[in-house]
Structure 1
Amino acid sequence: MNEASLLALLKDWLIPLGSVIISVWFAASAKKDADRADRLLAQIKESVEGSQRKMIESATGILDSTPQVIEGKASLAKLQAANAVLETIRANISNPGRVPAAEHEQQMLALSAHLSMLISK
């Protein structure tokens, strides 16, 4: 084998084959590193989200326990109850013929008293 054929063999076969092998090795190494980085980022994300969720739940619990919020919730419940009583009164006014007049009057008085009690508190 002369020097020219050895150089041609090196240039045509060994260098390209070596570069392909090195490229495959780099690609496999990069894939392994990328997978490891993805797992690490997922762990960091879970940790951050977990601590944020705990802080938000704690802050929400603190805010929900303040007297103003409790008073607001109680007022909202009263308004919703008063609205339900008003709807019943409207239904009885629009259809009074389904019960006798005396019973209708008693129901209306009871509903009015209930509504007054809800509003006065």
Structure 2
Amino acid sequence: MTIVELFKDWLVPILSIVLSFVSVGLAIWFASSAKNDAQKAQLVLDNVNTAIEGWQKQIMASTVGILDSMPQVIEGKAALAKIEAAQSLTKGIQDAIHQIATNPQPGAAGHTQEEALKTLTNQLNSLLASMVGTSAGKT
């Protein structure tokens, strides 16, 4: 057997098998390293995202607080409360009128019903007058 045949029959196949194992090992190492790097990068991105969300929440809460303390917003909330009170009074007047219409009372009881209705309308007039900034006279 000559050196060329020995090289061709034994050394090249063994060397190719060894190189195949080395390349498979390198591929496994590379995949594992890439997976670890991806996990580390995801952890960093999650931390950055959490920090950004925290800042955004703080900025939004601060902005809402500033807006809520503005005089226009406070006036708007007060006006809304007055409107709700007017709606409640209107409902009370409707209920009183309905009761008077379905169960009219003569004498002192009728006078009490009339006084209750006058009181409710006076309160409604006062509330409506305060909403437009004028004072209303009693009826």
Shared fold per TM-score greater than 0.5: yes
Aligned to 2:24: 20
State, as a whole percentage, how many aligned pairs show the same letter. 35
1:40 to partner: Cα distance: 0.7
Residues 1:41 and 2:50 aligned together: no
In the alignment, which of 66, 73, 78 is matched to residue 70 of structure 2?
A: 66
Q: Distance in 2 between matches of 1:112 and 1:2?
A: 119
Aligned to 2:14: 9
- Structure 1 ranges of 4+ moved more than 6 A: none
In the alignment, which of 92, 112, 115 is matched to residue 121 of structure 2?
A: 112
Aligned residues: 120
CA RMSD of aligned residues (A): 2.1
Structure 2: state its 5+ residue gaps: 131-139
**Bigger radius of gyration:** 2
**Which shows bigger deviation, 56-65 or 86-95?**
86-95
Aligned to 1:55: 59
Q: Distance in 2 between matches of 1:73 and 1:49?
A: 30
Higher relative contact order (CA 8 A, sep 6+): 1
Q: Provide the TM-score with structure 2 as the length reference.
A: 0.74
Write 1 or 2 for the structure with the bigger share of helix.
Answer: 1
Structure 1 residues 99, 2: CA separation in 2 closer, same or farther (over 3 Å shift)?
farther
